[in-house]
């Protein structure tokens, strides 16, 4: 079991099943108990809050979500304000379980975007960079 309470592999002796396949299929927001209903599906209006809920569920056991305390989350992104870049990192490194000392966190596209939005918002710089189809990069 990871420190964020996700069971990462089968334990046949205790009849325990890995939760990773379910998370890959349905996502965290749909399967976690303590998520307000209005945040279970990510949309442009709730992405930041949904991202905070994800950070509370998957990150805050090891990373402080404020600027102080234990291993503040914002410090690990070098002040990056590019949401797409953070999202790529989340899905590429954490989503595949290929980061040493970090749990496997399988985020779908919406969840990775929401969490990236929240992580970028922790940065004290003015505005996050958000790429959209209409405007590939905008400040």
Partner 1 sequence: MDAAMLYALRDPAGIPSHPIIFLVLGVLTWALHIAAVQVMLGASALTLYGAFSRDAHWRRLAAAMITTAKVAVSVAIVLGVAPLLFVQVIYDPFWYTSNVLSARWVIGFIVILILAYLAMYAFYYRNPKLASQPTRSAWQMVASLVLMLVVGWIMHVLSYQMLLPEQWMGWYAPNGNINPGGQSLHAYSVTRFAFFILLSVAVVAAWLFAYRRYLMGRPGEDAGYIAWLLPLAHRLMLAGGVLAVASGALWLATLPEKMAWFATSAWVWASAIALLTAAFFPRLLGNKLDQGLWGYAPFGIGAVALIVVAAAREALRFITLLGTHGYDALDYKINLDWYSTSLFFITFAVLGGVVLGYLLTVAWKAGQTKGVYTPSPALTRLGNLSIGLLVLWIVQYFAIGFYVWAR
> Which of 8, 9, 25, 36 is in the footprint of partner 1 by CB under 8 A?
36
Query: Of these, 25, 38, 71, 138, which contacts partner 1 (CB under 8 A)?
Result: 38
- DSSP assignments along 79-112, one per residue: T--BHHHHHHHIIIIITTT-STTS------HHHH
Select from 6, 20, 52, 107 the one that contacts partner 1 (CB under 8 A): 52
Q: Smallest gap, in angstroms, from Cβ of residue 1 to partner 1?
A: 8
Q: For the purposes of burial, counting CB atoms within 10 Å of the CB of 6, is it exposed (0-12), middle (13-18) or buried (19 or more)? A: buried
Measured CA to CA in angstroms, residue 98 lies from 1, 24, 79, 94 at distances of 17, 15, 22, 6
Determine which residue in the list 53, 81, 87, 108 makes contact with partner 1, applying CB under 8 A: 53
Q: Which is nearer to partner 1, 39 or 86 (CB)?
A: 39
Binding residues for partner 1 (CB under 8 A): 7, 11, 14-17, 33-34, 36-39, 49, 52-53, 56, 60
């Amino acid at each position: 079991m990871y420190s964020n309470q996700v069971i990462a592999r089968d334990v046949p002796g205790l009849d325990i099943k890995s939760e990773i396949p379910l998370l890959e299929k349905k996502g965290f927001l749909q399967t976690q108990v303590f998520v307000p209903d209005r945040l279970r599906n990510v949309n442009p209006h709730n992405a930041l809050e949904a991202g905070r809920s994800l950070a509370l569920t998957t990150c805050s056991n090891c990373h402080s979500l404020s600027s102080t305390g234990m291993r503040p989350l914002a410090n690990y992104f070098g002040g990056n304000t590019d949401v797409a870049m953070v999202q790529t990192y989340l899905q590429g490194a954490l989503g595949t379980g290929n980061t040493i000392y970090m749990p496997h966190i399988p985020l779908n596209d919406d969840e990775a975007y929401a969490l990236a939005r929240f992580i970028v918002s922790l940065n004290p710089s003015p505005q996050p960079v958000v790429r959209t189809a209409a405007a590939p990069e905008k400040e």
